Structure 1
């Protein structure tokens, strides 16, 4: 019995010291791992933030470039017909869209759907306006019809998408 008591006198304090050291080291290592995770996240944000902002800038530029008013000013040439202007407008929109399609990975899915929807609505406005005219009429007729359509709606599709894009940037920052 005395041997057992003598054994416990040395073993119990040793076990207490061991478990105390174990808990301290475990807590220290857990905290270090959390610090590393935070540092990694911070470093990733430092790398991703400029890229995300650039994506927002590029999509803003895309929406401004497919805005029917700006698009007509850049695309319409003298002596164009309705059919040629329609084709040129649709080609320009498609090229702009293809150039910026990769930006969707940096913005929310909802915002990307809004940007894509704005593009689709501009295409729809162009096609509906062109379908109501003879393809051989002067391009100014199509320009006028597109502008009348844009004026008749409260906000153009590109304006709506720009507002949503700006809201997302404000939440991001």
Structure 2
């Protein structure tokens, strides 16, 4: 039996089996670690995207504040021109940031949409209730006063964004 022609093969197999087991274990561990790394990168990426979304929406809400809107555009515009351009600017800014809703809870996005709609509604309501002979400066003053006397929905939405961002991170 010791002089068997299969003895060198048996000896080689006996030596190779532990190496094959170690190689298999190494490959299995390597694949497992790579999968964990990919999961961490995915979580980190979505977290960074969520933070970016909160930043962009905070900027959007700041730009929607009537105090910032009244400083836009030429002061020599007619009131109806100012209303048109302001509404257009608000909608364009909102459309530009609409993709951020993917990274936010549904109720937060609803608050952002409501804030935008409330600003446009206030803009039109102020225009409708304004005297025909009013100047652009009069319109801006009344617009700001109406916002200040009403609910500060933009600040409450900003506060909700801040709280949610702290909870999410």
TM-score (norm 1): 0.74
In the TM superposition, residue 167 of structure 1 has moved relative to its aligned partner by 1.1
Match of 1:149 in 2: 146
The aligned runs of 1:129-148 (5 Å cut-off) are 129-134=126-131, 137-148=134-145
Q: Distance in 2 between matches of 1:123 and 1:140?
A: 18
Per-residue CA deviation, residues 21-51 of structure 1 (Å, 9 max, x unaligned), is xxxxxxxx9xx99877654432211111111
SS in structure 2 of the partner of residue 145 of structure 1: helix
Match of 2:79 in 1: 82
Q: Distance in 1 between matches of 2:44 and 2:141?
A: 47
| 8 Å contact from structure 1 (residues 82, 133) kept in 2 | no
SS in structure 1 of the partner of residue 72 of structure 2: helix
Root mean square deviation of aligned Cα: 2.2
Count of aligned pairs: 142
Q: Distance in 2 between matches of 1:94 and 1:106?
A: 20
Gapped regions of structure 2 (runs ≥ 5): 1-27
Q: Distance in 2 between matches of 1:171 and 1:119?
A: 24
Match of 1:65 in 2: 63
In the TM superposition, residue 74 of structure 1 has moved relative to its aligned partner by 2.2
Q: Distance in 2 between matches of 1:119 and 1:91?
A: 12
Q: Distance in 1 between matches of 2:79 and 2:131?
A: 7
Match of 2:105 in 1: 108
TM-score (norm 2): 0.75
